[in-house]
Structure 1
Amino acid sequence: MKGGTERTEILRRSVRVSLSAAAGFYPFLYGLDDPVVALYALFAPISLGLLSSIPGSGRQRAEVMLKALPVGLVLVTLGTVLAVQTWAAVVGMLVVGFLLAFAAIAGPRPAGAAPGLQLFYILACFPPYEPETLWLRLAGLTYGVVVLALCELFLLPQPPGPTYRETLAHALVTAGDTIVGRGGHLSPTELRDAGARLRLSDAPPAERPAGPGRAARGLAQAGSATRRLLEQLAHLTESGELRALVRDGTGAAADPDADVGGKDGGDRCDVASGSLLPQVATLCHETAAALRTGRATPGSQRMKAAIDGFQQLRMRQVTESASEVPPVPVLRRQAALLAVAESVRVLEISVGVALDGRRTPPIEPRELFWYAQSSTPCLWSRRIIGNMTLRSVQFQNATRIAVALAAARLVAGSLDLTHGFWVLLAVLTLSRTTVGETWAAIRKAVAGNLVGAVAAGALLIGLGQHTEAYAALLAPGMLIAFALGPLLGIAWAQGLFTLVVATAFAQIAPATWHIAAARIVDVVTGSAIGLLCAMLAWPSGARREVLRTMAGLLRECGPLIKGTVATLTAVPPGSAPAPPTLPTLHRLRLAESAYAQYRSEPRGGTPAHADWHAVLIAANHILLGAQWLPRVDLPARALPADAADQARAGARALANTTDRLAALCAGDLSEWERGGPSAAEPGAVVSPLDAARSTGSSGPEADEAQPPPQRPDEDPFTSSRPRPALPAPDETRPAPPQADRTPMPALVDLDVWLRSVTAQLNRIEDDLPETVRQAERRTTAVGVPGSAARPGGDRRQGAR
């Protein structure tokens, strides 16, 4: 059931389209006695105003329509010329159909105008071959589009909605206030809801930053960074660390000379956090103000300088006197603050690029901000080449619709069907991304057309050749059909449109009830072609593609985790390069595109395979860590051998987990059933701290195969060799001084990142459907490690 706002807009659109169509049809047909101009002036508003779903306000729609007009003129010209031979029209339809459908990669507005532009070529490429009427066709098309654009501007125009920049600015104010403890204490749910409003699927289509240009890419990246920031704040609120961080940081800012000791790690002043926390909050508010004004904040990358100063202060704390060394809880909160600051740094840069829009010098990491220094042709080519693959749902959809339209044009031309463009119109309007949806639409459309054809036949028989009667019925008929059709469903839309078409063509040339019968034949023919193509070309829509792309994304995450840890633990430091992130970024873009279409398709009785949105969030988190950890945490001296080994073991365990989740999500357990390499390391753990305190054994038989557990008092951040057993540790006490102290912040930051990734992967596995769980248990029963071997221990522990 459509809401009140949507119903109102449908009624207003019906008025605009009906008036603009009538304003062209009646004057040219009855005033100038020119049916060619009248026909194109009638179908131009119907094509762009009704059959196209151009999003946005009245002004935005009018702008898109006027920009589409030159393309429409070219298409009508091309169709008129290629109508000379059926084979030429079919080849043209194949090329035009693919290009216009593939234009969806440019964003919602080009995608919305594509169906109407398709109809311009379809209408012109059918016989009779009359190139001498080309200028009349172009005149009618131009008149119809211009009148429709004027109606969009001045006749019941759609008011503009909130822009994405305004929504982003509001979310940033919320984040800034939360960081400094202003505006009340928002719950984790409220923070996550504020982030969810930034999802592109929840934004008005016209406001989505989905284009290939620098401004759109920067704004989209800013939205992702803000969502990540709010998710981080929600997690810190849940754990209570945000309140402690604000308390410690604000106390240090007020009294930098205050005591750095404390009983529990909370009743102390954190000088490092006190220096960074206010800058993070201030930058959030200044960036929000810049988004509202549309002017970039002067002074680029201020957060980078603040992060560098923060890291230097942390290093001084752990390398000077023992009294200056913060306890482990404070170190963890500093690591969490560093991750928050990195999100704000990405946000600061991306908003600057979005508002400025010009090419910039290289920004580190270059793989993340590659678009900032690229030219516009390069950005377009990257978007096009990135989607020219069978794994792109945009490529799949364009191929499907192009082949279906070309086949329909071939059948209509070969069989010389009367009004053959209705065959292609049926393909264009009834094709869906899955065979199930296509069949459901076709059943309703054929039923509606059958009823409409009977009504139209009765009308034509009853009125005969009384043209003035059809003229009197056309305008109110369009108004009713264009309003009730979208409101009542596809069957009503097709039936009422049949009546409108019959009424219009009865005025252009003498018509009998045969025109209604011809429409039934054409619609059934087009429906059969569309259904056949839907059955042969990716019949499951994005369901299978989302399985493939998500599995591929998870498999790319494993090497990225191991490569990041290898960079931080290399001997000597800096000898191992940072892992490349472009392969994972490419997989992420394909997965996001497949997921967007998957969410738009009705699921029916098909159960969800996994929480795909959680997979995308986890992949983003892994990407972010892989980009900033090597940049800000590369140690000056090599890490102790045992800590490095523990970190690498944790990375291998997480990589095994991503491989296993990829196999589970894709339903491919063959590698695990064969006992592949990922099954050879049961009991692996995820972080240096976990590795230092637990063996993580997966069963009684594993105890003999693994070294004895490390004592819980061994501090992995300061110890490079075993210690004798001591009483239970007090994490709030600073670690004792050592002659060769390890750079603790690097290990703490790495540990926090690995723990966070572990929790997200655990949550993904927890949300797998029961059928997948059963397959996993069956695989485990034949000797492959299952949930018992997964990082983090118990299935539910640490997952929520």
Structure 2
Amino acid sequence: MARTGRHAAHVTAATAAGFYPALHLLDRPVAGIYALFTPIAFGILSPLPGAGRERAATVLRAVPAAAVLVVLGTVLAVGTWPAVAGMLAVGFALAFGSACGPRIAGAAPGLQLFYILACFPPYEPGTLPQRLVGLAVGGAFLALAEAVLFPDAPEPPYRTRIADALDLAARAASGVVRGEGPDPGTAARLGAAGRELRLSRLPAGARPTGAGRTDRALAQAGAATRRLLDQLALLAGHAPAPGDTASAELLRGIAASCAETAAALRRGRRRRAGRVLAGPQLLEELVADFLKSRAGAPAPRGVLVRRSTVLTAAVSAVTVRTAASLALGGRERLYGLPREQFWYAAEGPARLTAVRIRGNLTRRSVVFQNALRTALGLALARLVAGSLDLSHGFWVLLAVLTLGRTTAGATWSAVRAAAAGTLAGAFAAGLLIVGAGGSSAVYAALLVPMMLVAFTLGPLGGPAWGQGLFTLVVATAFAQIAPVTWRLAEARLVDVLTGSAIGLLCGLLAWPAGARAEIRYAMSGLLRAAAPLVRATATAVTEGAGSGKGGAGENGTVRSGAGRSTAADGSPSPGVRLTLHRLRIAEAAYAQYRTEPAPDAARDWLAVLDHGSRTLVGAYWLPRTDGMPGLPPEVRRWAREAAEEVAAATVRAAGFPPDGVRVRPAPLPPEVAERVPAPLLAPLTDVEVWLRALARDLEAGSPPEPGDQPARYTTASHSSASADLA
């Protein structure tokens, strides 16, 4: 409430500072209208992310784009059809641009308003200077108010959350090294910290979802930190293996790396020498030493499984450190790391933006669907308003813009509330106009307190309060510009109802179910893309398929690598590219799905996303055994059959059978394991643990069995190796 009140004060002060002088001192009503609507567009209609200074900077950056839209709308107002064509193009471009980051997504609705205002009759290109001056004045006053007047305290950035989680990971790793024994409390804290890193726990504007390198790196660092916490929770929840010095040494390196990465993330970007986080070379050396050590003397199965978990934790720590270095501006070459995992490291902003846009140019993208729905609705509204010559017809488009939702049901709910609120507001505005008559002094005195109340209660009360109070605001403002009668309130009601009907029609005709329907297609596509990658990865580990840096050393040790995930020229293989693309589409669908009502509680879609992510991590990092003699044919056959079992289950899961998918890949038979040379047994255990974890992901994403409680996907369900660690 306090934050909303402060924000309302910012918008009200900026509006009054621009509107009153333009109208009452300079007698420039056109400039006054734009000075009035600019703070409303960027302060109320656009949910700009960040605190006061950050929002102020976003407003100043958006003003030039708004000026371009004002010019375009002014020119295209020459006729209805040119204005409709422009509305279709502008509406789609701005709505689709939300895929490029939260700041663009936040400013897009406000930017839409500037074209809407300018493209309506009368066609008066001579007023363009006044329009641009009003825009500049309104934007400047809003930025000043956001930065100076009751500024909000800045929210902790996402990198600070990652740093807090890494500090906890460092303490947990050190505790495992000290052999403190099973600690369910530490495991629970690690799980809770991992859940706090989910993007759904952040405000929409604070999520690192932009197309640029920094946001991509922060998102990757957060996801890898979640995996690291998961793996450390598994280790902390079970007794340590006595005498396992190799694991202890690697865990010390993980703890040190986590602590140093956390400190660097808190410092942020520093240009002075030595302040940017160095790469993960030291931890990579520890991993190489660990791989050589475990390839030596045979070890019991429990120790092998534990070492596989320690290795996966180290891989996650390497990923976190590398991604954090890239997020902080590091420019080092990624020697020895999977290029396809950090493909964005050497790309420029234009290339990264093009990749994001191209990836969403598909009808299966919820971003594309929302942009097309919005553009068609706005264009149709402009056509109706222009053809019927509605008074103040831009209110029709404003209703479409503010009341449209991603599902038809949600749109209908918003439209019903808005219609009731607008009716009440129109009735109150009519009474006000009749009572005040032509006294502009009364309207001038009422505008500021009315805006303050409307901009405070409107966002809190929902569409009914918002539309009703905004009706009073616009009636009070327009009564100062020109003489009005009670029919202004009538025009407002008719326009809002017309826009509501158009928005509802578009919602019914264009993807009415929103992400609730699309998420099934997206998750199915992800699972179907991941299944062949499971087979290829297991084959590469046991039979050495593919090329790349991974493989066996000259002395018979196993090196970590992702050779099968790259083509001969070093570019990602088609299977990796397809799985990564489908993962991004599914993540976008899931993000929208979480904002819509009536979720499907029978399936845990997050488990499906983690299945795809885990598949890619295995393709990137699982050690290879090519070039090593002595692998029995039975082992290769076991690996093929186990991988085929999981891959087939993944394909079955893509069809979402009513009873779900439950698969238990066969473990490596003990009698066969006894004939496997010691250097090869450890990477085979890595494959076994990975396949079983993928199987657990599929089970977690299935509906519960009859009689079971619907279990949500928690940290404890991420791994299937806990029984082997006990």
Q: So what's the TM-score if we normalise by structure 2?
A: 0.90
Quote how far apart the aligned CAs of 1:208 are.
2.0
Aligned counterparts of 1:88 and 1:523: Cα–Cα separation in 2 = 23
Among candidates 345, 351, 367, match of residue 378 of structure 1: 351
1:135 partnered with 2:129: yes
Task: Find the counterpart in structure 2 of residue 157 from structure 1.
Answer: 151
Task: Find the counterpart in structure 2 of residue 345 from structure 1.
Answer: 318
1:595 partnered with 2:607: no
- Residues 652 and 684 of structure 1 are in contact (CA less than 8 Å); yes or no, is this contact kept in structure 2? no
- Residues 176 and 280 of structure 1 are in contact (CA less than 8 Å); yes or no, is this contact kept in structure 2? yes
Letter in 1 for 2:655: A
1:333 partnered with 2:306: yes
Post-superposition CA distance 1:296-352 (Å, at most 9, x none): 33354322221111111222x23xxxxxx2222212211111111111111111111
Task: Find the counterpart in structure 2 of residue 732 from structure 1.
Answer: none
How does 1:205-604 map onto structure 2 within 5 Å?
205-238=204-237, 240=238, 243-244=239-240, 266=241, 268-294=242-268, 295-315=275-295, 317-318=296-297, 325-356=298-329, 358=331, 360=333, 364-570=337-543, 578-579=564-565, 580=573, 581-603=576-598
Among candidates 625, 628, 635, match of residue 621 of structure 2: 628
- Residues 663 and 695 of structure 2 are in contact (CA less than 8 Å); yes or no, is this contact kept in structure 1? no
Task: Find the counterpart in structure 2 of residue 698 from structure 1.
Answer: none
Aligned counterparts of 2:49 and 2:347: Cα–Cα separation in 1 = 28
- Residues 276 and 330 of structure 2 are in contact (CA less than 8 Å); yes or no, is this contact kept in structure 1? no
Aligned counterparts of 1:138 and 1:326: Cα–Cα separation in 2 = 75
Among candidates 167, 187, 195, match of residue 161 of structure 2: 167
- Residues 250 and 287 of structure 2 are in contact (CA less than 8 Å); yes or no, is this contact kept in structure 1? yes
Among candidates 599, 615, 630, match of residue 608 of structure 2: 615
How does 1:709-748 map onto structure 2 within 5 Å?
714-719=670-675, 743-748=680-685
Quote how far apart the aligned CAs of 1:431 are.
0.3
Aligned counterparts of 1:390 and 1:181: Cα–Cα separation in 2 = 49
Aligned counterparts of 1:554 and 1:572: Cα–Cα separation in 2 = 22
Aligned counterparts of 2:663 and 2:477: Cα–Cα separation in 1 = 73
Distance 1:528 1:768, change over 3 A: farther
1:639 partnered with 2:626: no
1:763 partnered with 2:700: yes
Post-superposition CA distance 1:234-283 (Å, at most 9, x none): 23334x1xx40xxxxxxxxxxxxxxxxxxxxx4x4123223312111111
Post-superposition CA distance 1:681-701 (Å, at most 9, x none): xx9852442xx2xxxxxxxxx
Quote how far apart the aligned CAs of 1:618 are.
2.1
Aligned counterparts of 2:489 and 2:266: Cα–Cα separation in 1 = 55
Post-superposition CA distance 1:420-453 (Å, at most 9, x none): 0000000001000000000000001011111111
Letter in 2 for 1:746: P
- Residues 611 and 767 of structure 1 are in contact (CA less than 8 Å); yes or no, is this contact kept in structure 2? no
Rg (Cα) greater in structure: 1
Distance 1:439 1:9, change over 3 A: same
SS in 2 for 1:578: helix
Aligned counterparts of 1:205 and 1:572: Cα–Cα separation in 2 = 43
Post-superposition CA distance 1:768-795 (Å, at most 9, x none): 7999x9xxxxxxxxxxxxxxxxxx9xxx
The number of aligned residues is: 683
Task: Find the counterpart in structure 2 of residue 711 from structure 1.
Answer: none
Post-superposition CA distance 1:497-553 (Å, at most 9, x none): 111111111111111111111111111110110000000111001111111111111
- Residues 454 and 473 of structure 2 are in contact (CA less than 8 Å); yes or no, is this contact kept in structure 1? yes
Quote how far apart the aligned CAs of 1:638 are.
5.5
Quote how far apart the aligned CAs of 1:758 are.
2.0
- Residues 635 and 746 of structure 1 are in contact (CA less than 8 Å); yes or no, is this contact kept in structure 2? no
SS in 2 for 1:211: coil
Aligned counterparts of 2:335 and 2:205: Cα–Cα separation in 1 = 30
- Residues 283 and 318 of structure 2 are in contact (CA less than 8 Å); yes or no, is this contact kept in structure 1? yes
Letter in 2 for 1:612: W
1:649 partnered with 2:638: no
Aligned counterparts of 1:768 and 1:199: Cα–Cα separation in 2 = 27
Seq. identity, %: 50
Task: Find the counterpart in structure 2 of residue 109 from structure 1.
Answer: 103
Quote how far apart the aligned CAs of 1:766 are.
5.0
Task: Find the counterpart in structure 1 of residue 36 from structure 2.
Answer: 42
Letter in 1 for 2:266: R
SS in 2 for 1:716: helix
SS in 2 for 1:539: coil
Distance 1:717 1:126, change over 3 A: same
Task: Find the counterpart in structure 1 of residue 717 from structure 2.
Answer: none
- Residues 83 and 126 of structure 1 are in contact (CA less than 8 Å); yes or no, is this contact kept in structure 2? yes
Quote how far apart the aligned CAs of 1:359 are.
7.5
- Aligned Cα RMSD in Å? 2.7
SS in 1 for 2:655: helix
Aligned counterparts of 2:333 and 2:65: Cα–Cα separation in 1 = 32
Deviates more, 1:352-361 or 1:490-499: 352-361
- Residues 179 and 277 of structure 1 are in contact (CA less than 8 Å); yes or no, is this contact kept in structure 2? yes
1:750 partnered with 2:687: yes
- Residues 362 and 370 of structure 1 are in contact (CA less than 8 Å); yes or no, is this contact kept in structure 2? no
Post-superposition CA distance 1:569-590 (Å, at most 9, x none): 2278979961431211111111
- Could you list the runs of 5+ residues in structure 2 that have no partner in the other structure? 269-274, 552-562, 566-572, 711-719
SS in 2 for 1:169: helix
Letter in 1 for 2:564: A
Distance 1:41 1:638, change over 3 A: farther
Letter in 1 for 2:234: H
- Residues 610 and 768 of structure 1 are in contact (CA less than 8 Å); yes or no, is this contact kept in structure 2? no
Quote how far apart the aligned CAs of 1:207 are.
3.1
Post-superposition CA distance 1:161-217 (Å, at most 9, x none): 111111111100100110110899443222111011111121244432211111111
Letter in 2 for 1:420: G
Aligned counterparts of 1:514 and 1:405: Cα–Cα separation in 2 = 25
Distance 1:434 1:467, change over 3 A: same
Distance 1:66 1:592, change over 3 A: same
1:189 partnered with 2:188: yes
Higher relative contact order (CA 8 A, sep 6+): 2
Aligned counterparts of 1:139 and 1:89: Cα–Cα separation in 2 = 22
Aligned counterparts of 2:186 and 2:285: Cα–Cα separation in 1 = 31
SS in 2 for 1:94: helix
Aligned counterparts of 1:571 and 1:283: Cα–Cα separation in 2 = 31
- Residues 215 and 353 of structure 1 are in contact (CA less than 8 Å); yes or no, is this contact kept in structure 2? yes
- Residues 11 and 142 of structure 2 are in contact (CA less than 8 Å); yes or no, is this contact kept in structure 1? yes
Aligned counterparts of 2:321 and 2:450: Cα–Cα separation in 1 = 54
Aligned counterparts of 2:379 and 2:475: Cα–Cα separation in 1 = 25
Quote how far apart the aligned CAs of 1:644 are.
1.1
SS in 2 for 1:181: helix
Distance 1:397 1:684, change over 3 A: closer
Letter in 2 for 1:59: R
